Amino acid sequence: MWGLKMIHILKTKNWKGPFSKQEQEDAVVALEGGAVLYFPSLPFGLEPDETILLSPHYSHPKSKNIGYDLKSRKVTGVQGTEEATPSFESMLDRYATNTKILLEAILPQYQKYLERGRTSYRPVEIAGRQSSYRKDDTRLHIDAFPSSPVQGKRILRVFTNINPHDQSRFWRLGEPFSKVAERFLPHCPHPLPGSQWFLERLCITKTQRTPYDHYMLQLHNRMKADEIYQKEAEQQEFSFPPQSTWIVYTDLTSHAAMQGQYALEQTYYLPMDGMNSPELAPLKILEKALGRPLL
């Protein structure tokens, strides 16, 4: 029964919807409960001059993804000719706009709270990519950012598979966050007094790492490091075919990207005040387990 609840299907072919009030209400309940909102037929079309970007050769070896910052309009992680940069900027900017339109249509109650983050393009095949275990996204994990503390904000992400070769993107979806916390939280050390100030002062973090950020990063690392857990944890496989789109709280839903090439992703941050059910947030689950506030 748990596995059947992990995917919430919405059958629109338009980023604007429309969606009925019932569809909107059901979507936010499913999403905040840990499910993936899945749009099996919601494509993102490339412009003619953008099809050349469907190559892994543009991705810098030291970067997993090609990134785009909307505020600075700067593209990062690209190697090779600079002539391609305007095309990357155009494609990623348009994708960011499309995701905003989609979220306004399906999750209207979030709109005055959402903060748009980084846009990314993922042209490199996941399977076989070499990295440290902490950066290995083929291992089940929840998202937590070492250098960019979210300070209690939710991490909401939109993905679209734009693979031109009819290849799906394969994920594993893991057990509920409450079970992750129950298993790993007792083994997580407490943050050292003054460490948040030290990390920010040395520019290791961009802002202060709160106790919440500390424990989320600990959970992320310990999940990935535990080989037995990776094999034996409750989980299901799911494939996202080309021209499908999905939305998920990656700080709540345990996931692993196993295989796939050519995907777009947009990150959003949502303050707790914007949630329909704040008690379901990782922050509240951890605070309840530890018996103290973490912000």
Q: Taking 70 as the threshold, does the pLDDT of residue 3 lie above it? A: no
Q: Taking 70 as the threshold, does the pLDDT of residue 152 lie above it? A: yes
Q: Taking 60 as the threshold, does the pLDDT of residue 9 lie above it? A: yes
Mean pLDDT value across the chain:
94
Provide the residue type at 140 as one letter: L
What would the pLDDT profile of 242-278 be if each residue is shown by its tens digit? Answer: 999 999 999 999 999 999 999 999 999 999 999 999 9
| pLDDT at res. 179 | 96
| pLDDT at res. 2 | 46
What would the pLDDT profile of 92-128 be if each residue is shown by its tens digit? Answer: 999 999 999 999 999 999 999 999 999 999 999 999 8
Q: How far apart are CA 198 and CA 209, in angstroms?
A: 10
pLDDT band at 145 (very low <50, low <70, confident <90, very high): very high
Which domains does the chain carry?
A: 3-290 (2.60.120)
What would the pLDDT profile of 64-101 be if each residue is shown by its tens digit? Answer: 799 999 888 899 999 876 778 889 999 999 999 999 99
| pLDDT at res. 1 | 37
Question: In terms of DSSP H, where are the helices of the chain?
Answer: 21-32, 85-106, 177-184, 195-201, 211-225, 227-232, 282-290
DSSP structural state of residue 246: E
Provide the residue type at 257 as one letter: A
The C-alpha angle 246, 120, 216, rounded to 5 degrees, equals 75
The answer to whether the beta carbons of residues 58 and 91 sit under 8 Å apart is no
